[in-house]
Amino acid sequence: MDDNISALNEKYSSIVLPNTILMSCGIVAGVFGNATIIIIYIAHIDDKKGDRYFIPILAFIDCLGSISNGLFYVIDNFYIFSFPSEILCRVLLFVLTFASGFSGHVLGAIALQRYLLICHPYGKQLTLFRRRLAVIVITFACIIYGTPLLIISGVETSQKTFQNRTFSTNICVFDVNPSTLTIVYFGSFLLLTTANITVTSVLYILIMKTIYKTLYEDKKLRKNLMKNLQHEKVSISGKDDIFNICIDHIDADEKTRKISVGSNYSQTKRSEHRLNIRTKINVMFMTIVAFYVLSYIPSIVILILTYTLKDFYYLQLPESLLNVWIFFARFLLLNHVVNPLIYGYFDVKLRSNVKRMCCFCTSNNRQQSSVVN
């Protein structure tokens, strides 16, 4: 490697050191968090209803995405002007594209599953067979539209300007020899990504609308019920909130009857508990989708600006703006890293299992230390 290129690589890597640190932290957090999710969901959580079917799959892909995205970004930061390997360049670009696309499509499948479950509970649902079929279709689709990158991407030799110096570089790029065909390919990929984001967002808007309507009607029904109960003869017996409601006048054709609502009260509480859990799961997936959309928008905007601004090259930006530009260009990594935190915040079962594992590890360490002593 030319000494001048090595010096420029070192200069660039020192400028983008904050970005390198962030990317390295992203790799560690993404791998550790998603690996934990996979272990807990597979080994400790019994998902009989299938609400969490896609979570271990999504965690595996996010783990792969954290490694491929983070590794590519870190290598690129150290060897921006002399990427070390043509094969490594192509493989990393393929894997990070596959992982990002797979993650987005799985979130779309989750949105469809939640939409059918919430908005059309008595219609056709995503059965176990259909969920497996969806994963197979998504896998093949991502392989098909990612495979061209193994051919058209690579290390491009070109003249670049950095620090007021123009020199020959070997940079890893998505398209070594731009042509009309490759422009159509990347344009189609961009449209597919935008369509996936749009459809997923629309489905969750409809889900939120249905949930809000259901909660509003439930609240209204409770309010009316309490008003009606105030006009009835109500006696409360026992310390366990067991209600005995005696209704004297119901209809002219009906006899006076007594209704014991102790069991109804407990059933209502169980229904409320199930509704709260389901609502939390829906909010969890909606939050994941929100971060998915937010992580894609800056990257797409940067991509559009890169190809639409004439005579612009980001390496010519001042050092502070260069870091900001790179940060938003690589914002996509957030989509793979943040999901475990969202799972842990919303999923009570996951949180309790994590606490149990931590307590188990702590007790084992104490036992080992006591034996040693």
Mean of the per-residue pLDDT values of the chain: 78
- What ranges in the chain are assigned the alpha helix state H? 3-15, 17-43, 54-78, 86-119, 128-146, 149-152, 180-230, 262-308, 319-329, 333-337, 339-346, 348-372
Cβ 73 vs Cβ 23: under 8 Å: yes
Give 24's pLDDT tier (boundaries 50, 70, 90).
very high
Predicted confidence at residue 236, as pLDDT, reads 46
Residue 44 counted as domain residue? yes
Helix (H/G/I), strand (E/B), else coil: 347: coil
Give 352's pLDDT tier (boundaries 50, 70, 90).
confident
What percent of the chain lies above the pLDDT cut of 90?
22
Residue 106 counted as domain residue? yes
Q: What is the DSSP string of 220-268?
A: HHHHHHHHHHHTSEEEEETTTTEEEEEES-S-SSSPPEEEE-HHHHHHH
Lowest mean pLDDT among 209-218, 220-229, 302-311: 220-229
Residue 224 counted as domain residue? no
Give 361's pLDDT tier (boundaries 50, 70, 90).
low
Residue 239 counted as domain residue? no
**d(C-alpha 223, C-alpha 218), whole Å:** 9
**d(C-alpha 363, C-alpha 373), whole Å:** 15
pLDDT tens digit string along 146-182? 999 999 999 988 888 787 787 888 889 888 888 889 8
For the chain, the domain total comes to: 1
pLDDT tens digit string along 217-254? 666 666 666 666 555 544 444 444 444 444 444 444 44
Give 216's pLDDT tier (boundaries 50, 70, 90).
low
Nearest 5°: the CA angle 173, 176, 180 is 115
Residue 142 counted as domain residue? yes
Predicted confidence at residue 98, as pLDDT, reads 94
Q: What is the CATH number of the domain that holds 156?
A: 1.20.1070.10
Cβ partners under 8 Å of residue 362, min gap 6: none
Predicted confidence at residue 232, as pLDDT, reads 52
Cβ 29 vs Cβ 337: under 8 Å: yes
Residue 262 counted as domain residue? no
Task: Pick the closest to residue 154 from 169, 183, 175, 184 (CA basis).
Answer: 175
**d(C-alpha 286, C-alpha 295), whole Å:** 14
**d(C-alpha 292, C-alpha 300), whole Å:** 12
Which structural domain, as residue segments, surrounds residue 168? Answer: 3-212+272-372
Residue 265 counted as domain residue? no
Predicted confidence at residue 246, as pLDDT, reads 40
Residue 13 counted as domain residue? yes
**d(C-alpha 186, C-alpha 292), whole Å:** 20
